[in-house]
Amino acid sequence: MFTETNQRSIVKGITWRMIATTTTVVIVYVFFGRLDLAIVAGLIESVLKIGLYWAHERGWHKIRWGKERIEPFNLWFTGLPLSGKSTIADRVFIELEKLNIPIERLDSKDIRELIPNIGYTRDERNNHIARIGHLIKTLQNNSISTVASFVSPYRESRKQIRDMVKNNVVVYIKADIETCKSRDLKGKYDKAISGEYKNFTGVSDIYEEPQYAEIVIDTDLLSIDDSVTQIVTYIKKDYIKN
C-alpha cells in the first residue's frame, strides 16, 4: 500500500503552479499590457494557491470515502521437487511487481533456511504449512499479496492454506517424475532413491495431486514464458483493478 507524503504533495503543487502561474502572467499581460502587473499577479496567486493545493490534497487524503482497499491474493505454487515451481514463481513475481502492487515472495528454500530442523514427516510438513499460512494471513491484513512456492504434497495442508487466507489461487506445476529427475543437477533424487534422503516427495513419500487447482501448468507441454503469461493473465483478469 502506498501513501502520499507531504513532500510529494508540495512538489506536485509547485510544479502545477509553475504551469498555472505562467498561464496567469500571460493572460494578465495580454489584457492589460503591463508586464509588472502580470508578474505581481502571478506571484501572489502562486503563493496562495500552493498553500491551498497542499491543504486540499491533505484534506482529501484523510477522507475515506471513495477509497478502495487493495484486496490481496495468494498464488500458491505446488508440485513435485524440481517440477519448476520456484523458477516460474520467481518470473511471475517479477511481472506482478511491475504492476506496482504490494507483493512479497515466499519460497520453501528461503523459509527452511530461516527455520532449520523443521522436518519432513507428514505432521511436520503440515505444521510448517500452517505457519506459512499464518504469515500470509498477516501480510494480507496489511494488503500485501504473496507468491508462494512450496511442494506442499498433502491435500490437507493445501486445504489449510485455502481456509486461512483470502483469494487463494492454487497453481499446480505438473511435471512427470522422470522430467523432474532430468532437471536434478544436485542429485537429490538419486540420494532419495538410495535412502540418503528420507520422506522425499515422489520417491519415499507421496504427492497428492490437487483436486481443485485454479491453474494447472504442465511443464512438459508449456515453456516457462508461456506458463508465466498464463498465470499473470489470470491474476490481472480476476484480481487487478485498473
pLDDT digits (tens, 9 = 90+) for 20-51: 778 877 887 787 788 887 788 777 777 777 77
pLDDT digits (tens, 9 = 90+) for 138-170: 999 999 999 999 999 999 999 999 999 999 999
Give, in order, the Cα–Cα distances in Å from 223 to each of 77, 156, 167: 16, 30, 26
202 and 81 Cβ atoms separated by less than 8 Å: yes
Give, in order, the Cα–Cα distances in Å from 229 to each of 91, 96, 154, 233: 10, 11, 27, 6
All CATH 3.40.50.300 domain ranges of the chain, comma separated, are 74-239
Catalytic residues: 152
Tally the residues of the chain.
Answer: 242
- Topology of domain 74-239, CATH: Rossmann fold (3.40.50)
Reported pTM:
0.74
